[in-house]
Amino acid sequence: MENDVVLAQQGDKKAFIRIIKSVEKSLYYVAKSMLTADSDCKHPL
pTM: 0.65
The Cβ of residue 16 has, within 10 Å, a number of other Cβ atoms equal to 15
Residue spans of the domains in the chain: they are 2-42
* Tens of pLDDT, residue by residue, the chain (45 residues): 789 999 999 999 999 999 999 998 898 888 888 887 777 766 655
Q: Dihedral angle at the C-alpha atoms of 24, 25, 26, 27, nearest 10 degrees?
A: 50
